[in-house]
């Protein structure tokens, strides 16, 4: 831990780093201080008036390259300042003043208690959309491997696949281009078979692969050695498992009567238990501050909830109940929720409730309303995912995956991946990290990889 030779004589209410490594801190009395973080040297400061005066409420932001600082408050123009480097000094002269933009203080959204009820605002926007299908998708590759659970590695070079089968299984690591088996992961016991797996997850740096299922045990393999490095018995049944965006912990959840849901560190420390539980799917927001969960039909637990992880973990909650209003959608008469995901920029929340597709704008709190003849609500949807390029994939029980523009509902293409006429599909799908391909696996059928149309 670095210790500066002097202590701060002001209350810090916000801070950030510039692209040049300058530490910017805002004090309670609305002064911006610029420090060299390694030594604590004060590079400069800007004063904007007393923080107790609402007319002087201050916000600030930095450009991505760290060269400019934007400041604004009500009744004050947006001002653009030249930022110093850690070797330079602050230039007090304004670079630019944008007198057409002013900001208004925003009242923070209140936290939602487990017993409170909130109603989403009704749709207020009308979207126009073209229903003309885009370029057709194309089957690129097909691998003869049994499975219905898969995950792309962060770099996209490999795919992990296994089967949620009664018979014992291993996890196969395949080359994403050739389908060649590169590695096989098993238990570190005399009985090396893995039985009843339900989910796989790569760590964001690609170092580890985690898996869990009906045994309620989280296995974590080191992919370089192929050995299990951590084994955590956390629940009686785990249905979903996912790493946080920075890889410091995992979220796990199950739908059985005695299943538990929570956050666990790589070393196995339970950071928080989530209530309500009975969670069938998870998704972290891209910045890692929120966790969305889809809940199976169990009394008041059903629906989709959004958790304030930053607040929960900072307070070291034994039970995390920090739910963000108004994005906690009770299912009402709907039987359950089965899938949930965020858009790549974190602006949209997409979920499946009562086999219907539902999309909410996280900036306004409104549900998007698609004014078009094509209605994905008419299908029995099971799973949703969004690519890094912004394409929404919605898979249904009839082995169809509809590729859509989430903001408008425009249908880009449809993939029918069932060549055996199965009554119900038990499938998994995953986009490649670059968003150009979609991998699909469905029990005894081959693992297929498809090209994607442009959004």
Closest CA to 434 of 84, 218, 176: 176
- pLDDT, residue 154, reads 95
Stretch among 150-164, 172-186, 310-324, 414-428 having the lowest mean pLDDT:
310-324
* Cα–Cα dist 19/335, whole Å: 48
User: Nearest CA to 149 among 286, 241, 237?
Assistant: 241
Nearest to 280 by CA among 268, 297, 263, 266: 297
Structure confidence at residue 314 (pLDDT): 61
Summarised one tens digit per residue, pLDDT across range 225-247 is 999 999 888 877 888 899 999 99
Angle among Cα 39, 42, 43 to the nearest 5 degrees reads 110
Give the integer Cα–Cα distance in Å for 17 and 138: 44
Residue pair 351/339 in contact (Cβ under 8 Å)? The answer is yes
Per-position b or e across 328-365, b if 16+ CB within 10 A of its CB: bbbbeebebbbbbbbbeebbbbbbbbbbbbbbbbbeee
Lowest-pLDDT range, 17-21, 25-29, 32-36, 127-131? Answer: 127-131
How many angstroms from the chain centroid is the CA of residue 216? Answer: 23
CB 388 within 8 A of CB 143: no
Per-residue pLDDT at 151: 96
Give the whole-angstrom CA distance, residue 240 versus residue 252.
Answer: 6
pLDDT tens column, 346-359: 999 998 877 788 88
Per-residue pLDDT averaged across 183-207, rounded? 79
| Percent of the chain clearing pLDDT 90 (strictly above) | 24
130 or 438, which is more confident: 438
Q: What is the CA radius of gyration of the chain?
A: 24
pLDDT for res 296? 73
> Which pLDDT band, with edges at 50, 70 and 90, does 321 fall under?
low
**Distance of alpha carbon 351 from alpha carbon 93, whole angstroms:** 49
Q: Evaluate whether 110 touches 407 at the Cβ level (below 8 Å).
A: no
DSSP letter, residue 276: S
Q: Which one of 2-6, 153-157, 279-283, 397-401 scores highest in mean pLDDT?
A: 153-157
According to the model, what pLDDT value does residue 424 have?
Answer: 62
> Which value, to the nearest 10 degrees, does the dihedral of the CA atoms of residues 312, 340, 143, 137 take?
-130
Choose among 340, 333, 379: nearest CA to 356: 379
Q: Say if residue 361's pLDDT is above 70.
A: yes
Q: Which pLDDT score is estimated for 37?
A: 76
CB 395 within 8 A of CB 425: yes
Nearest residue to 352 (alpha-carbon basis) of 298, 419, 280? 280
Mean pLDDT of the chain, nearest integer: 75
- Give residue 210's pLDDT: 95
Q: What is the pLDDT of residue 344?
A: 92
Per-residue pLDDT tens over the stretch 207-227: 999 998 888 889 999 999 999
**Average pLDDT score over residue span 253-263:** 80
User: In residues, how long is the chain?
Assistant: 455
Backbone angles phi, psi at 395, to 5 degrees: -100, 135
Task: Say if residue 52's pLDDT is above 60.
Answer: no
Q: Which long-range contacts (CB under 8 A, 24 or more apart) does 379-383 make?
A: 379/355, 380/355, 381/338, 381/339, 381/352, 381/355, 381/356, 381/357, 382/338, 382/339, 382/352, 382/355, 382/425, 382/427, 383/338, 383/339, 383/352, 383/427, 383/428, 383/429
Tell me the average pLDDT across 405-426: 76
For residues 429 and 339, what is the distance between their CA atoms, to the nearest angstrom?
Answer: 12
User: What pLDDT does 85 receive?
Assistant: 63
Instruction: Round to whole Å and give the CA distance between 40 and 320.
Output: 36
Element (H or E) spanning 309, and its range?
Answer: helix 309-314
Residue with the bigger pLDDT between 35 and 64: it is 35
Is 289:283 a contact under the CB 8 Å cutoff?
Answer: no
- Could you give the 3-state DSSP secondary structure of residue 448? strand
Structure confidence at residue 302 (pLDDT): 66
Arithmetic mean of pLDDT, 310-326: 65
CB atoms within 10 A of CB 2: 7
Q: Has residue 382 got a pLDDT over 80?
A: yes
Terminal CA-to-CA distance of the chain, rounded, Å?
46
The sheet that has 23-27: what strands, in order across it?
Answer: 12-17, 23-27, 31-36, 41-47
Highest mean pLDDT among 117-121, 148-152, 164-168, 350-354: 148-152
Give 177-236 as a DSSP string: TT--EEEEE--SSSS--B-SEEEEEE-TTSSEEEEEETT-EEEEEETTTTEEEEEEE--S
pLDDT digits (tens, 9 = 90+) for 160-193: 998 877 666 789 999 999 999 999 998 765 454 5
Give the pLDDT of residue 81. 80
**pLDDT score, position 271:** 82
On whether the CB atoms of residues 244 and 251 are closer than 8 A, the answer is yes
Tens of pLDDT, residue by residue over 79-104, are 788 777 655 444 444 444 443 333 33
pLDDT given at position 180: 95
Q: Pick the most confident of 54-58, 116-120, 164-168.
A: 164-168
At 75 the pLDDT is 59
61 Cβ contact partners less than 8 Å away, ≥ 6 residues apart: 69, 70
Question: Given pLDDT bands bounded at 50, 70 and 90, which one contains residue 386?
Answer: very high
Residue 440: is its pLDDT beyond 90? yes
Q: Give the residue with greater pLDDT, 398 vs 342.
A: 342
Domains of the chain in sequence order = 12-98 (2.40.10.480), 111-451 (2.130.10.10)
């Amino acid at each position: 831990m670095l210790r500066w030779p002097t202590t701060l004589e002001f209350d810090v209410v916000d801070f950030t780093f510039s692209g040049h490594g300058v530490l910017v801190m805002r004090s309670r009395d609305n002064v911006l201080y610029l420090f060299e973080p390694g030594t604590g040297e004060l590079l400069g400061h800007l004063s904007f008036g007393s923080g107790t005066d609402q007319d002087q409420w201050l916000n600030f932001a930095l450009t991505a390259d760290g060269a400019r600082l934007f400041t604004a408050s009500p009744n004050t123009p947006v001002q653009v300042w030249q930022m110093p480097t850690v070797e330079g000094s602050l230039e007090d002269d304004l670079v630019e003043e944008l007198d057409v933009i002013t900001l208004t203080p925003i009242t923070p959204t209140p936290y939602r208690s487990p017993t409170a009820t909130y109603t989403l605002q009704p749709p207020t926007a009308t979207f126009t959309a073209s229903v003309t299908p885009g370029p057709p998708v194309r089957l690129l590759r097909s691998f003869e491997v049994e499975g219905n659970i898969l995950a792309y590695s962060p770099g996209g070079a490999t795919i992990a696949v296994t089967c949620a089968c009664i018979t014992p299984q291993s996890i196969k690591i395949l080359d994403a281009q050739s389908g060649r088996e590169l590695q096989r992961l098993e238990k570190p016991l005399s009985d090396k078979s893995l039985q009843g797996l339900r989910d796989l997850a790569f760590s964001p740096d690609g170092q580890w692969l985690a898996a869990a299922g009906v045994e309620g045990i989280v296995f974590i393999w080191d992919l370089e050695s192929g050995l299990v490095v951590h084994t955590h018995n956390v629940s009686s049944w785990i249905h979903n498992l996912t790493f946080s965006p920075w890889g410091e912990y995992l979220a796990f959840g199950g739908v059985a009567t005695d299943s538990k849901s929570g956050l666990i560190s790589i070393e196995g420390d339970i950071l928080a238990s989530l209530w309500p539980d009975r969670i069938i799917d998870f998704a972290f927001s891209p910045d890692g501050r929120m966790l969305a969960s889809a809940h199976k039909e169990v009394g008041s637990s059903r629906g989709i909830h959004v958790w304030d992880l930053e607040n929960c973990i900072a307070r070291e909650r034994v039970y995390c109940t920090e739910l963000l209003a108004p994005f906690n959608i009770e299912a009402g008469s709907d039987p359950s929720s089965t899938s949930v995901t965020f858009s790549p920029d974190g602006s949209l929340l997409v979920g499946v409730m009562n086999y219907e597709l539902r999309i909410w704008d996280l900036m306004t709190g409104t549900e998007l309303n698609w004014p078009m003849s094509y209605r994905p609500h008419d299908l029995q949807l099971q799973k949703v995912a969004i690519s890094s390029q912004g394409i929404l994939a919605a898979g249904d029980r009839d082995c169809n995956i509809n590729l859509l523009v989430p903001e408008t509902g425009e249908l880009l293409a449809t993939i029918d991946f069932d060549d055996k006429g199965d009554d119900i599909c038990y499938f998994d799908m995953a986009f490649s990290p670059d968003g150009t391909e979609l991998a699909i696996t469905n029990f005894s059928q081959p693992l297929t990889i498809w090209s994607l149309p442009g959004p």
